[in-house]
Structure 1
Amino acid sequence: MSPAESGVSGAWGGMRTTREFVEKFPKDIGGIIVVPNEGNSVSYSKLYVPGAYQGWDGTNTKTSLSSPANNKIFEGHVYFPTDNSPFFFTKVPSSSFALRLGDNGADGTLESNGDTIRVPTAGMYEIKANLNNNTYTLQKQVWSIVGDAIPAGPTTDLDLTWNASKNALEIAVDLKAGHFKFRANHDSAINLGDNAANGLLAQDGTEIQIGNGSYLIRLYIGRPDYTYEILSTSFDTRGLFYTNGQNLDINDVTLFTDGYAIRKFRNITSTGAVGSNKDFPDTDFPMFRLADVLLMGSEAIVRGGGDRSLALDYFNRVRHRAYGGSGGGISDADLTLQMLIDERARELYWECHRRTDLVRFGKFSNTDYLWAWKGGVKAGKGVESFRDVFPIPSSDLSANPHLLQNPGY
């Protein structure tokens, strides 16, 4: 790693850690939860919808409606970014707008080479066209998610907004464990769920199950088959490891490339500037901070009894900060001493807490709680209980002959 990236003058060595510590940070919280599924969209017959909203591109095959039954009844959704936006239908994609269908009387009837059709106001519209009787309908829709996964309550609608670059409606949201559906105009008359949990949406389909976390949810309803995407945006920002060229396992303690390097402290200001001196870092060392107080408070309640809801609140305040939202929160059932000692590792590493914490939790000596090179061997081994306390320095023993060395040393 370049020393300059850490704000030091040279020979960046850093400190390394073991696989056991790295694996305390969840690897798969962030990422894709549900992948969009186009289903049979490609096989459906199409009716194309060129207009001002897409630059009057008659060759654009993506701005189209579909007929899932291939019965000349087409449906889909189009987002119009401006009021009074014009469009018409074409049966084939063509720059010459061949086989164009418009509406001369603005009465919902289609005519060959008819006038352009206009939507009154900007927004998302459901469009249905029936070429068996040459009629069409427009319905403006506001799409939302609703369900018991919504923290504000199961009847609260959270509206989606249009993302033109993704051609999708989307929402960034914190959810609790539960279920949700998509619905139009805050009414369950039009609602979409996922019957087979395969990314395909259906009217009155099964509610979508979701875990506690922070998510980016996208709804793709341009044309059937309708689908959606769920991306988890929850991740623990405290896992500050340098991994490029590093081995996860430490086979040789003398090799810097064995073990992930820690990048928790750098000689870099909050604005990204290098500290005032590259040889003598300006980095402040935290001696006492709020997260430690909150975790100690949570631990005291779990050990000694009291209001567990308060203990959970203390714990989750630390997690919410670390995850940038409620995605890192846990439930009361998860608030155990094991969770607390692991959380103290994630929150307070490289701040001189770990050995004392392990002693207090009974995981330092006379235990099968091991990590690489504990006890001086690669696989790790248990250590004797006398090591729970440090030896008295020999200089102190020499200065005061009345002192007795701690047992075992």
Structure 2
Amino acid sequence: MTYDPATGLWNAMLDLTAGEVKFRANDGWDINYGDSGLDGILDAGGDNIPIPEAGTYVFTMKLGTPDYTYSITRTAYDKRAMFWTDGQTLEINDIGQFTEGYAITKFKNVNKDGSPARFPHPDFVCTDYPVFRLADAYLMYAEAVKRGGGGSEGRALELVNQVRARAYGSADGNISGGELTLDFILDERARELYWEGHRRTDLIRFDKFTTSAYLWPWKGKVPNGAATGSFRNLYPIPAAEMSANPNLQQNTGY
């Protein structure tokens, strides 16, 4: 929810069920606004505004105009996009500067209802960490089908859209069969499973971890990203393990 006092423009994105809405002032109904003519202009004490179906809606209201013009537009919104942007810049010029790049708010040390965690700690969270997830299995199935491992293209599409319907809260984010490609599945795994320990192995499996096929800022120690040696697909064997077992041979490149 945002408000620009310079322009008087108020914006909010809300998840709504089918029904009706109305605007009120100061959490009371003595001052309320509806739209009796459904003409995009709020009327004091006007009729409720219909919301035809459940979904995510963008509300825009021009509080700086005498007639309070407004709009309510349904939009497709992926609720997995949990980013903190206040005080952050999108571009990363210094990888050691936390305020460069958007921060992630996927895991918070609170309960589902927003109440404090049972074991609060200033530095660590007590969030349950997902190890096996149904969405991961659905995306595995779709990937196996697209790699020629058998199964049904139709079923793969159905499962991917189930994952996306949960994320969007509706069918607004559903894709078509033509959009279901291996590259799409890799991206969908990033959207669904980020910060859950999958990205490195996913990129290696898709041959994009060290190659130039997929670049990100500071890959290869350059601002725009660059390919790196393929030996980095494997970690080095720790020095302590090498010393403890002389029969071990260090992985190539280390």
From 363, 379, 400, give the equivalent of 2:245.
400
Q: What is the SS of the residue equivalent to 1:369?
A: coil
Determine the structure 2 residue equivalent to 1:282: 126
Q: Structure 2 stretches of 5 or more lacking a match? A: 1-12, 15-34, 38-45, 59-70
User: 1:230: how far off?
Assistant: 7.2
Tell me if 1:292 matches 2:136: yes
- Tell me what 1:88 maps to: none
* 1:387 and 2:232 are equivalent in the alignment: yes
Could you say which residue in structure 1 is the equivalent of 2:74?
A: 232
Identity %, equivalent residues? 49
Question: Equivalent residue for 1:172?
Answer: 53
How much has 1:377 moved relative to structure 2? 1.8
State the alpha-carbon separation in 2 of the partners of residues 243 and 173 from structure 1: 28
Larger Rg: 1
Alpha-carbon distance, 1:170 to partner: 4.4
Q: Which amino acid aligns with 2:87?
A: G
Q: C-alpha separation between the residues in 1 aligned to 2:221 and 2:167?
A: 33
Determine helix, strand or coil for the equivalent of 2:52. strand
Taking the aligned partners of 1:246 and 1:215, their CA distance within structure 2 comes to 26
Structure 2 SS opposite 1:172: coil
* Residue identity opposite 2:171 in structure 1: S
The count of residues paired between Structure 1 and Structure 2 equals 200
AA aligned to 1:290 is L
Equivalent AA in structure 1 for residue 230 of structure 2? S
Q: TM-score, with normalisation over the residues of structure 2?
A: 0.72
Q: 1:165: Cα distance to partner?
A: 3.2
Q: CA deviation at 1:215?
A: 7.3
Q: Is the 8 A contact 1:247 1:260 kept in 2?
A: yes
What does residue 223 of structure 2 align with?
378
What CA distance in whole angstroms lies between the structure 2 residues aligned with 1:330 and 1:272? Answer: 32
Q: Relative to 1, partners in 2 of residues 1:63 and 1:385: Cα closer, same or farther, differing over 3 Å?
A: closer
Deviation track 1:355-401 (CA, whole Å, cap 9, x = no partner) reads 00000011112323100011122111111111111111111110000
Whose RCO is larger (CA < 8 A, sep 6+)? 1
CA 1:356–1:306: 2 relative to 1, 3 Å: same
Aligned equivalent of 2:155: 310
> How far, CA to CA, are the matches of 1:63 and 1:243 in structure 2?
38
1:171 aligned partner, one-letter code: P
CA contact (8 A) 2:216 2:224 kept: yes
Q: How does 1:103-118 map to 2 (within 5 A)?
A: none
Check whether the contact 1:246–1:258 (CA below 8 A) recurs between aligned residues: yes
Greater strand fraction, Structure 1 or Structure 2: 1
Mapped contact 2:91–2:101 kept (Cα < 8 A)? yes
Q: CA separation of 1:232/1:170 partners in 2, compared to 1, >3 Å: closer, same or farther?
A: closer
**Which residue of the partner structure matches residue 211 of structure 2?**
366
* Residue 338 of structure 1, CA deviation: 0.8
Cα RMSD, aligned residues only: 2.5
Q: Measure, in 2, the Cα distance between the counterparts of 1:406 and 1:165.
A: 68
Give the Cα–Cα distance (whole angstroms) in 1 for the partners of residues 211 and 94 of structure 2.
26
Q: Please give the secondary structure, in 2, of the residue aligned with 1:231.
A: strand
Q: Which residue of 2 aligns with 1:120?
A: none
| SS of aligned partner of 1:296 | helix
SS of the aligned residue for 2:53 comes to strand
5 Å-filtered alignment, 1:5-404, equals 164-166=47-49, 169-172=50-53, 231-279=73-121, 280-304=124-148, 305-404=150-249
2:36–2:47: 8 Å Cα contact kept in structure 1? no
**8 A Cα contact 1:172 1:215, kept in partner:** no
Stretches of 4+ aligned residues off by more than 3 angstroms: none
Tell whether the 8 Å contact from 1:234 to 1:324 is kept in structure 2 after alignment.
Answer: no
Question: Which whole-Å deviations, capped at 9, do the CAs of 1:9-59 have from their partners, x for residues lacking one?
Answer: xxxxxxxxxxxxxxxxxxxxx89xxxxxxxxxxxxxxxxxxxxxxxxxxxx
Secondary structure at 1:299 match in 2:
helix
Structure number having the greater helix percentage: 2
What is the letter of the counterpart of residue 76 of structure 2?
A: S
Q: Which 5+ residue runs of structure 1 have no aligned equivalent?
A: 1-29, 32-61, 65-162, 175-213, 217-228
